[in-house]
Each structure stands twice: as structure tokens, then as C-alpha cells.
Amino acid sequence: MTAERFDPASADQRWQRAWDEAQSFRADDTSARPRSYVLEMFPYPSGRIHIGHVRNYTMGDVLARAKKMQGYEVLHPMGWDAFGMPAENAAMEKGVHPGGWTRDNIANMKAQLKRLGFALDWSRELATCDPEYYGHEQALFLDLYAAGLVYRKESAVNWDPVDMTVLANEQVIDGRGWRSGALVEKRKLNQWFLKITQFADDLLEGLGSLDKWPEKVRLMQENWIGKSQGLRCTFRFVDSADGIEVFTTRPDTMFGASFVAIAADHPVAQQMAETVPELAAFIAECKQGGTTAAELETAEKKGFNTGLSVEHPLKPAWHLPVYVANFVLMDYGTGAVFGCPAHDQRDLDFARKYELPVTRVVADGDETGSAFDSDEAYTGPGRIVNSDWLDGMDIEAAKAAVIARAAHEGWGEGTTVWRLRDWGVSRQRYWGTPIPFIHCAACGVVPVPKDQLPVTLPEDVSFDVPGNPLLRHPTWKHVDCPSCGGKAERETDTLDTFVDSSWYFLRFASQPADRPFDPEVIKQWLPVEQYIGGIEHAILHLLYARFWTRALAHIGLIDVQEPFGSLFTQGMVTHETYSRVDPANGQPVFFSPADIERGADSAVLKADGAPVEIGRVIKMSKSKKNVVDPDDIIAQYGADAVRWFMLSDSPPERDLPWSEAGIEGCARFVQRLWRLFRQYDAAATGEDKALDRKRDQTVHAVGQDIASLGFNKAVARIYELTGAVEKAAPSASRSAAIRVLLLLAAPMMPHLAEEAWAAIGGEGLIADAAWPPVDPALLVEDEVTIAIQVLGKLRDTITVPKGMPREEIEALALASDKVQRALDGKAVKKVIVVPDRLVNLVA
């Protein structure tokens, strides 16, 4: 090794070409090795890889490389979640086609990933916007339809009047569309649905088997599925046989009821609105509100008194007013609730606003009076009070008692409801998977025959006006009915992009041309051994992927229930912000870190030398411009320094603050290792047992750390072994330790490792090398360090063989010069020896 410094500018490209030419990371479906499927959530091709991506993919890459070295056949693929609104927005803003914009971005981002040297099987690359991918998705959708798991119905939706599309609840922020910012409306449209509720119980129970998932993710899914045991009962209208059916999870609080509230689209409300203009206006106002659970909790509670009254089921002479309320949803329970204000915050806010009674019926402690004066509802445990025959019962006993009486008297029954709703997958946009159905006036809705798949998107579309271009296309939607041959029209809605990402991991594993996948190959690779991605996907993507896998198993296409065996949610990469207040409008203007000259306690803009304000360290975002471009950092420091920084310091589940000093330190360590590798001497002789032990213990521990994704721990151990090797005298043991360091560094700093491996005469590519073996005997400590105390104060330490007899330890302790100085001639009266730990001399 002649070069004094490692040159990443040349080495990175050279070894990346070598891996490509050797197809080093191409997974072999026929291999007899044990399988390991490592997968990071695939990115949306926005145009640039950001540092958050780099951290995510570096973690997966280190695991995949280490698994390969440890003898596994590794599948580590990459692709692109390529459909969605951003491409259409770009088409409208820039006058480009979404397909061209997307594919240009894919090319840019793929080049960035390659510059980082990730061990990816590019032979399996896919983009969800490719017809060969979404054509198979259409076939699977038709299979689910044939099995009764896909249906179409009229449904209330969140409608963005600017983007002219349906939004999922999670895409409605403070009542506005997440991209357009327009006030969202509630509309009724014919929509396509996947019957996820059929699997609700199974999805909930399955969480118990996912012991390698973060507990917080499992809890989030459990809450989203939302299994509730309760009472379905009827509050009859006064002087009528008809009534309002109500579902409640708190039948124990029925004696605290003060009103019944129904949804704005409840049949009773809709019928009344036909003759009551004020109610019609209120219902129109409700349609402008948000629909997410969080928004319903935080929005101002509003109601319209219908003038109707209902009888209380337990005391028919007790009449309750009926309101139309903006916080009740028609698609949860029955679309009607009874309000118990003292023990539900939403009901309490409503009751205070409309001056309705508030009665305490659950007591915690000595406060049992019926009057409830607090502005905070009591929702904790306690016993029932002010509730006639329920008084004195605990909550669960009271629930059971009310349900039993309702069933006996015939006005209600115990039942289970779910927060989970069927998955509406229709989207009124162009850039998505066409839904493979045809509408015929004579035959109704007809599936597209599979031999006509894929139904591809037309290229000649216009985005001059908002809305779905497929609706306006002059020819694409006009087809003959496959059933009767008459004139018909294609479905112009496209699929929610969450459908695309609900099975991509299956297509990565198996890619036959004539079908979505081969079930026998799927069985070899699935479930994914390690899935890595952001916590923001904890609910929808992961829940939908779990459902899709179950649905395909249900219809016999695969033999897998859970798609992801182990899940890891990494922390974000953060950076401080730089800004100035614009005097014209008083708003902050943000600047990129690349435009800033940073001092110890201050920062200035390079363009004018004037100071900028240094803001908090927060998640990197385009809006705050606190984003670091990986290309700039790679060009300056090399890919390995960037990778090493991603793994250092912070535990991978925590946020990682980006710092210039940190990346510079990593670059220095790359050069430090290079200098050490240059000292490898295959002809060296001599033995260093302590270094041998340190070497093998480090190999063992680093392997465990990588397997558990404790990358920062592995990094610390490599630093420690590096220091030990640097201090050691030349010997065969030292050269062996240098070679081991090379192999340990290979998954983390692969370019440096390949360069050094070639220089020391290593066989082949280090990417194909085996993980270093360990001697089990060296993993057991055979020496211990014993503390020597005089009158309880530490005076010296000695290192001795483990298990040394007490007499020998005592003799060594008394022979210590430091101990003799501490004794200062005094006679030792007593010697206390704790084997393998300490000696205490009492003088």
C-alpha cells in the first residue's frame, strides 16, 4: 500500500463499477444458503435523495452486507413508489408530463444511491408507474373482486375542490387539503372499496405475534383498528314506535345522559332538512369541517336542536333532546350517540355550550354528588353513583348489567364495533393505476378481461384545467363492453397509491412475466426479515400491507400472513435553521446550510456577509431549507465518511443532529484506518494473547450489534479495537487484528475496505469475503482486574488469572509498592479477599 492517503474520489467509483460488473449483490433464487430479506421502505421519486434517506438506507445496507458475509443469500432490492399527486402538481406547475418528470427524478435518485455504494440488487428494480408492475396489480385487484373483497358503493368522502380529488382522512389537515390548502368539502361519490374490515379481528390478533416490532407501532395499529365492546340500543321518539339507534361503549353512564346527537347525514337529519332550511344550512356548514378523529376532538362542538325528543330506555318518562352535531360521524357505530357530559370531554364541551344538564354518575373518591362543576370530564375508574339500581357497582359490572337488562327487555343488545373502516381506494386523478373496470348501460360494472391487461394510462393528456384528465380524454375512456359488445366507458378513477406499496415487497421477491409472483419463490423469501422505515408509516402503509398479504393468502395466492417479521423505525436527521425576517412582511426567510458561513456562536450569509439568526435543531425540511445535499458531502468527504457518520453517536432509533464537525471527524477516521491498514504485515511473527482476545471479542460483539441494529455500539467497538491495534507492538497477532478490522469495516465503509483488501492481497472482493471467525475460548475472560484497598480506599489494581487462589492474591497485594506506601509501616491486622474482585487490607 503505497498511497499515504485514501482517495475516495477515485476509489468510490472504481469499486462501485467492480460490484456492478461482478453482480455482487444479485440475489439467487436457487441458492441453497439460508435466506435473508432486508428491505427499506422504497422512496417517492421526488428528485433528490435527502440525508434522511441516506441514514435509512445505510442501516439496511450494513445489515445486508453483514448477512452476506455471514453466509446468507441476501435479497436487498430497491424501487420507486412512483405514482401520486406531486407528479400531477409538477405537470400543472411546470407544463411537463408526470411520467417524464417521474422518470427523470428516478434517474437522478438512482445515481445518488449508487454514489453511496449501497449493496442493492438493481436487477429487481421496479417503479409502480411501469405498466408491467401495475398491470399485475390490476390482475390482483380483479382476483380480490372475484373473491368478494372489492366492491363499489356511494360513500361520503373528503373532496378537495382545488385538486379535484378525494382525500383520505389523514390528508385533511385542519379542515384543508394537505397539498392545496383548500377547505375540504364532504361529498357523496361512487367509490371503490377493499373489504379490510373482514380482516379486522385477524389484523388485531396478529399484532400479538409481531414481537420484533416496536411496541408503539403495534399500539398505534391497535388503536386504529379500534375494537370496542358496547351496547347497541334504541332511544324511542316520544309518543312513537320509531326511534334512533345508538351505539355506546359506556352503557354504565346511561343515567348521566342529557342529549342524543346524530350525524349531519343521518337519515333523520336528512329528512328534516328537506323542510327546515335552517337545518339544511347547518348540515352544509358541517360538510366544510374536518373528518379526522383528531380534528373532531379539537374543533368547536356545534349542534342544531331538532326539536325532537326521545325516551330514555331505562326511564321512559325521562325525555332527552335530539341534536344534529358536527362531531358525530355516520360511518362509526350507528351515526348516533347519547351524550354523558360528565364523563366524556366532547359531550361536556357540547353540553356547556348549549346549557344542557351535566350529572356525575362515576365517582372516584368521596365526591359523589350529582352536580358536576369541572370543565374537564372525568374518564377514570371508579364506582357508579346517582344511577338508581346501578349505584355501587364498578364500571365493568355496570356495563354488563345494563347490557343484560337491554337484551332481556328487548331494547338493545351487546355488540362489537370497529373504528376501522373499509379502505376507499378510488382517486380522481390521472397519475395512478387505472381501476380495471368498464361501465356498461346494459351490463352494469364489468371487469376488464385479464387478457386485456394492463389497462395503461394514455400519454396524450392535458393538465390545463384542474381535475382528472381521464374524464376529459376524447378516446381513452370509450370502449366496447367486454360482455355485450355495446358502447361503454372505462372507470376513470385510479387507485390510491397505498395499494401500490401494499404488495411491492412480493414483486421484489419474485418477478415472473406472466403473473404477479411465484408463490413457491415467495415462500422462500417472505416474510421480510428486517423492514426499515419511518414512524410516519406506522399505521396506514403497514396496516394496508398486512391486510393485502392476508387477502392474497385468503384467496390462495400466497402462503404468508405477516409480510414483515421485524420492523425498525429509524430516527430523523436534524439540522439547525438559518433565517432573517423580511422587513416587507415580517415573515422569516430561510437559507440553506450551503449558503451559510458558520462561526462558533454566530452565522452569516456568504452572499452578503450579514448575520442570520440560528434557529432550533429540527427535522430537515424543504420549507425551512435546513437540508444537506448528500452529493455535496460525498464530493467533499467521500461516501464512506457519510455512511460512518450515519451510524455513529446516536442510537439509530433516535434523531441524529447533523454537524459539520461530525462529518469531518468521520473523514479523519477513514484516513486513520487507512494508515493502520497500510501497516499490515503478512510476514510478521510473534503472539499477543491480549490482542487476540480483544479481536475475537470485538468480532463477536459487532456481529451481535449489527444484527440488533445497534450500529452506534458497533461503531464504538471498532473505535476501541482500532485504538488497541495502534498501541500494540508489531506481531502476527497485530496483523491478524488489522485484517479483522478490515472485514468489520467492510459493511460500513465498503470502498475503503475494498481498496485496502486489494492492497494487502485479499482474495477476490471483500464484498464476497466471509465474516471473520472467532475462537470461542477467546470469548471467555480468563483474566480479571482486582482492586486493592487499604482501609477501604483504593490504592492499586492488579490483573491476575481468573480464579487465582486467595493466598496468591493476598501475596500480590502485599507486594504492591503503592500498598506498602499506604500502610506506612503499619502491621496488617486483617485481609478481606473477594475472589476476582477486590482485596481490602485493614491495618
Q: What is the CATH number of domain 679-779?
A: 1.10.730.10
What is the distance between the terminal CA atoms of the chain, rounded to a whole angstrom? 60
Q: Take residue 70 and report the three cell numbers written for it.
A: 455471514
Within 10 angstroms of residue 140's Cβ, the number of other Cβ atoms is: 21
Mean pLDDT of 155-168: 81
Angle at 256 between CA 404 and CA 292, to 5 degrees: 90
Residue 295 has pLDDT above 60, yes or no: no
Mean pLDDT over the full length of the chain? 93
Query: Domain spanning 227-418: which CATH class is it, in words?
Result: alpha beta
Mean pLDDT of 652-667: 91
* Contact (Cβ atoms closer than 8 angstroms) between residue 795 and residue 839: no
Helix (DSSP H) and strand (DSSP E) numbers for the chain: 26, 37
Rounded-to-integer distance, Cα 109 and Cα 397, Å: 60
Q: Is the four-CA dihedral 688, 694, 696, 702 of positive or negative sign?
A: negative
* Contact (Cβ atoms closer than 8 angstroms) between residue 360 and residue 372: yes
Q: What is the CATH number of domain 573-666?
A: 2.20.28.290
Within 10 angstroms of residue 120's Cβ, the number of other Cβ atoms is: 24
* Contact (Cβ atoms closer than 8 angstroms) between residue 546 and residue 206: yes
HSE value, Cβ hemisphere, 13 Å, CA-based, for 641 = 29
Residue 360 has pLDDT above 90, yes or no: yes
**pLDDT band at 369, cuts 50/70/90?**
very high
* Intervals of CATH 1.10.730.10 along the chain: 679-779
Give the pLDDT confidence score for residue 296 in this predicted structure: 59
Rounded-to-integer distance, Cα 86 and Cα 91, Å: 9
Mean pLDDT of 389-399: 96
Mean pLDDT of 505-514: 98
Query: Looking at domain 135-195+422-497, does it have CATH number 2.60.120?
Result: no
Rounded-to-integer distance, Cα 101 and Cα 97, Å: 6
Give the pLDDT confidence score for residue 188 in this predicted structure: 82
Give the pLDDT confidence score for residue 2 in this predicted structure: 62
CATH architecture of 783-842: Roll (3.10)
Categorise residue 500: left if φ over 0, alpha if ψ from -120 to 50, beta otherwise. alpha
Give the pLDDT confidence score for residue 287 in this predicted structure: 77
* Contact (Cβ atoms closer than 8 angstroms) between residue 504 and residue 42: yes
Q: Nearest to residue 363, comparing CAs of 329, 391, 344, 389?
A: 391
**pLDDT band at 298, cuts 50/70/90?**
low
* 258-281 pLDDT, tens digit each: 999 999 999 999 999 999 999 999
* Intervals of CATH 2.170.220 along the chain: 135-195+422-497
* 52-71 pLDDT, tens digit each: 889 999 999 999 999 999 99
Q: Take residue 173 and report the three cell numbers written for it.
A: 389537515
* Contact (Cβ atoms closer than 8 angstroms) between residue 684 and residue 738: no
Strand 530-533 versus strand 35-40 pairing type: parallel
Q: Is the four-CA dihedral 341, 343, 345, 347 of positive or negative sign?
A: negative
Cβ partners under 8 Å of residue 400, min gap 6 = none
Give the pLDDT confidence score for residue 229 in this predicted structure: 86
Q: Where are the beta strands (DSSP E) in 749-834?
A: 783-790, 793-801, 830-834
Residue 398 has pLDDT above 80, yes or no: yes
With cell 420492523, the residue in question is 567
**pLDDT band at 118, cuts 50/70/90?**
very high
Full-model pTM: 0.84
pLDDT over 70, % of the chain: 98
Give the pLDDT confidence score for residue 297 in this predicted structure: 60
Torsion angles phi and psi, residue 207, rounded to 5: -60, -30
Give the pLDDT confidence score for residue 1 in this predicted structure: 56
Cβ partners under 8 Å of residue 207, min gap 6 = 213, 218, 221, 222
**pLDDT band at 94, cuts 50/70/90?**
confident
Tell me which H or E stretch contains 416.
Answer: strand 412-418
Rounded-to-integer distance, Cα 371 and Cα 356, Å: 12
**pLDDT band at 170, cuts 50/70/90?**
low
* Intervals of CATH 2.20.28.290 along the chain: 573-666
Give the pLDDT confidence score for residue 163 in this predicted structure: 78
* 519-575 pLDDT, tens digit each: 999 999 999 999 999 888 888 999 999 999 999 999 999 999 999 999 999 998 899
Q: Nearest to residue 678, comparing CAs of 743, 749, 756, 758?
A: 756
Residue 187 three-state SS = strand
Residue with more model confidence, 186 or 829 = 829
Angle at 709 between CA 705 and CA 712, to 5 degrees: 70
Give a three-class secondary structure readout of 348-383.
HHHHHHHCCCCECCEECCCCCCCECCCCCCCCCCCE
Burial 699-726 (b: 16+ CB within 10 A, else e): bbbbbebbeebbbbbbbbbbeebbebbe
Torsion angles phi and psi, residue 705, rounded to 5: -65, -45
Length of the chain: 843
Residue 308 has pLDDT above 90, yes or no: yes
Cα 185 to Cα 126, 156, 188, 275, 320: the distances in Å are 36, 10, 10, 23, 31
**pLDDT band at 591, cuts 50/70/90?**
very high
Residue 300 has pLDDT above 90, yes or no: no
* Contact (Cβ atoms closer than 8 angstroms) between residue 490 and residue 416: no
Angle at 486 between CA 484 and CA 491, to 5 degrees: 95
* Intervals of CATH 3.90.740.10 along the chain: 227-418
Rounded-to-integer distance, Cα 58 and Cα 113, Å: 10
* 453-508 pLDDT, tens digit each: 999 999 999 988 878 899 999 999 999 999 999 999 999 999 999 999 999 999 99
Give the pLDDT confidence score for residue 291 in this predicted structure: 53
* Contact (Cβ atoms closer than 8 angstroms) between residue 429 and residue 85: yes
Within 10 angstroms of residue 460's Cβ, the number of other Cβ atoms is: 10
HSE value, Cβ hemisphere, 13 Å, CA-based, for 618 = 11
H helical segments located in 277-429: 277-286, 293-298, 345-354, 395-409
Rounded-to-integer distance, Cα 740 and Cα 752, Å: 14
* Intervals of CATH 3.10.20.590 along the chain: 783-842
Residue with more model confidence, 553 or 804 = 553
607 Cα distance to chain centroid: 39
- DSSP-derived secondary structure letter, 607: T
Q: Is 280 exposed, middle or buried (0-12, 13-18, 19+ CB in 10 A)?
A: middle
**pLDDT band at 734, cuts 50/70/90?**
very high
